[in-house]
Chains A and B, each alone.
Chain A
């Protein structure tokens, strides 16, 4: 099987403030989604969430704060899955909770060495 990177994107500003109970429900949804992929034997790496604050460095030496404050599709985190084709990998991304809050999942095959 090939490996695919799933990149989660959403608008940090559009995310509603959740109560503890709602946060738990949301966390459970994510856990269930990842567990589903793992159960099928398609999980390569659980991945990580990224701290919102960071920096962007460009070639002309400019270092700016970012990127999340302006971008509507800031990267929230990533996970890696295994599948035979891109379409199969896309099917695994189905049901990802980020999709329910207006976010997106970018699916990219990892170029093998």
Chain B
């Protein structure tokens, strides 16, 4: 089931007579249970897009549908949206975690009884139960961030928008947040995740969308994207010294690089056998297909000249 359908979103901001096109025709679709990583450099239009989806910024063009409802025309659509926004506290520091969950639960449309009923197990799950009566300002950054996600999730929205949920967290807290995100997705909620920590995006996401200067430049499943950018470079480690005649033949090949004890070949699998033939009879210690990571792919894509 498609939870989020944003199509052809456009937004231009005008400041001091200057028009800046922040988002130019962005479309996103996220199904239930899916985590979509939404990546892009600073100022690419990620936060503007997220805020348009959450109904906080009115798009100039395009439409948003969350579980079939438009957040701009039907305020009931916001029952299906939860958001943790980057750079914000998102919760009241003077209240305790339990009080925050109860308050925001009611603000999102739950009854006080239901908000309290959901709050306690949620705090248990986040290992915050023993801190439920401590003012939020006394909690660690990791605990505060877990609470922000819990507050965004208290009404069990179909769509959760997480803007930099692991930013500034230590390793342990970051792991806890990642586990929570995985669990929420596994329960059938759709998640749109923006982050600059590309290892986090690679670990958590089912799909990736990369935005540059307000336009989506790549949008596909994470595994397909990685596969598309991988599988072209092989590293072959050999034992012993390669005879100079073979070295010269290999070095003459355009897609081969020879180093001490190692040959790198970039090309098709068929061509790999030609290289292996040239390495005979030296023992081969290891052959490895170079798998691209999301960081390399991201950098490659955003540095590519734009296609007009």
- Chains A and B are bound partners: no
Residues of B within 8 A of A (CB): none
